[in-house]
Structure 1
Amino acid sequence: MESTGVYWEPLANHLHQAQQRVSVVNPLRIHGFAKSELARNKTDREDAARIARFCQLHAPYPWQPLPAERRKLRDLTRHLHAVRKARHQHRNRREGTPPEWLLQSLKRTIAHFDEEIELIWKEIQAHIDRHPELKRQRELLETIPAFGELTATLLLAELPNIERFASARQVAAFAGVTPKHRHSGSSVRGRTQMSKMGQARIRCALYMPAIVARTRNPIARAFADRLAERGKCKMVIIGAIMRKLLHMAYGVLKSGKPFDPQYV
């Protein structure tokens, strides 16, 4: 099945519990497969047949559900993000000169969001404390310079089991922080960009730490200086630091040891 919308995961969990083999595929792969077949029509029946042909040809890996404690952590952090986003939207509505009744209503709503954010964060903390492995992994992530408690928690919530990845490069590809090149012969010399074909929430969690790491993380600082000397622009450097930080996160989680700059 394709990983689209909010319905695929409950269905995948149900089929997995029923001892059925389930594969979950990025919809971009199915879309590319349809283009390769020169598909002219799009109906539910044809889409189902196309997905079946894709599975016969490519034999995608079987899907494994997240452990219950990881799934709850992910749901909590995503809910936290949604409430914080709603608070930000209501704060923006105070700009200009809203009528007094609206301003008071916004203040009450924002205060409610503040209380809810505090409650959700406390539940996240308590949930991690109840599960020693989650707590241990978050403490490992916090040893990386520029990673605070929130960043470590968000990464822990969005990354699947680290044993799923054979290398740090695979983790970077999963998050979509790998470079995308556009070179062909002598005529095409496109600018290298971040691929962004991966988990966007991980990229969001890494953006501010990458800016902080530019000055606080000695490995990232030296790496960024080398890129700047080669004429790379600011955003390319930030993207490269995001990838470097994710490599560090993979290293501490895979080894089970705190960050050590001597082994990077």
Structure 2
Amino acid sequence: MLPAQRQLLRKSRQLDHLKDKLAQEKVRLSMLIDEDCIAYTKAMIDFIKGQIKALQQSIRQCVASDDTLKQNVSLLLSIPAIGFDSAVKLICYLGDGSRFKNAKAAAFAGLTPMIKSSGSSLHQVMGISKIGQADIRKALYCPAMNFAFGRYKDGAYRLFVDRLNSQGKAKKVVITALMRKLVSIAQAVLQTQTPFKLELHR
């Protein structure tokens, strides 16, 4: 892992920690009745929000100051459903795309099917493995959901989603499949250093 990528990963993880902390404090605030405690918690929430904003700016500067990171993030942003935050998360783990081959990237993200074998040699799909980087799954879940069943359902992946729906797949299965597809597309875009082309990724 290159130094700039390692630095980006550290900042990305810290940002996740701050966001989790913010969510915890908001829940805590909703349960408080003491006025002093409410005031202290509100001050803490404001402080964390400030830290999040500063760290987000630092991450953008980190990307902008490194030509390789800047180029790779730009390539990922050409993929429908991939925004800046998810692009950063993918870059942190995929790098320039040379780290993994074929379906290894999806396996690393824990998005490959988990197969259970019985004594009679029957194989049954038991969902996804979830052995891998939960960060990537977390970053891609909402984009995949929006493009599968949300406001962008008629977008770039409509044919892919329609094909799965026609097979009677459950919504969760469709969303997971689209997440896996997004990782594969990201891997291909990074490896070839070529922006997203719909005709290549239907």
TM-score by length of 2: 0.90
Shift of 1:196: 1.0
1:219-234 equivalences under 5 Å are 219-234=156-171
Q: Which has the higher contact order (CA 8 A, sep 6+)?
A: 2
SS state at 2:115 partner: strand
Letter in 2 for 1:155: L
Coordinate RMSD, CA, aligned: 1.8
Match of 2:179 in 1: 242
Match of 1:148 in 2: 83
Match of 1:180 in 2: 114
Distance 2:109 2:24 in 1: 27
1:71-86 equivalences under 5 Å are 71-86=6-21
Answer with 1 or 2: which has the greater Rg.
1
CA contact (8 A) 1:182 1:189 kept: yes
Match of 2:47 in 1: 112
Distance 2:26 2:192 in 1: 43
Stretch of structure 1 that moved more, 219-228 or 201-210 = 219-228
Letter in 1 for 2:165: A
SS state at 2:98 partner: helix
> How many residues in Structure 1 have an aligned counterpart in Structure 2?
198
Distance 1:159 1:82 in 2: 21
**Which deviations, in whole Å up to 9, do the C-alpha atoms of 1:56-112 show, x marking residues without a partner?**
xxxxxxxxxx11111000000000000111011000112245211111111100000
Change beyond 3 A, Cα 1:217–1:192: farther
Letter in 2 for 1:241: L
Match of 1:91 in 2: 26
Instruction: Indicate whether 1:210 and 2:144 are aligned.
Output: yes
Unaligned runs of 5+ in 2: none
- The correspondence for 2:134, drawn from 186, 193, 200, is 200
SS state at 1:123 partner: helix
Change beyond 3 A, Cα 1:256–1:161: closer
Shift of 1:247: 0.9
Shift of 1:178: 0.7
CA contact (8 A) 2:77 2:87 kept: yes
TM-score by length of 1: 0.70
Unaligned runs of 5+ in 1: 1-65
Instruction: Indicate whether 1:131 and 2:66 are aligned.
Output: yes
CA contact (8 A) 2:96 2:190 kept: no
Percent identity over the alignment is 34
CA contact (8 A) 2:113 2:125 kept: no
CA contact (8 A) 1:76 1:120 kept: yes
Change beyond 3 A, Cα 1:255–1:189: closer
Shift of 1:182: 2.4
Distance 2:154 2:57 in 1: 29
Letter in 1 for 2:91: L
Letter in 2 for 1:104: A
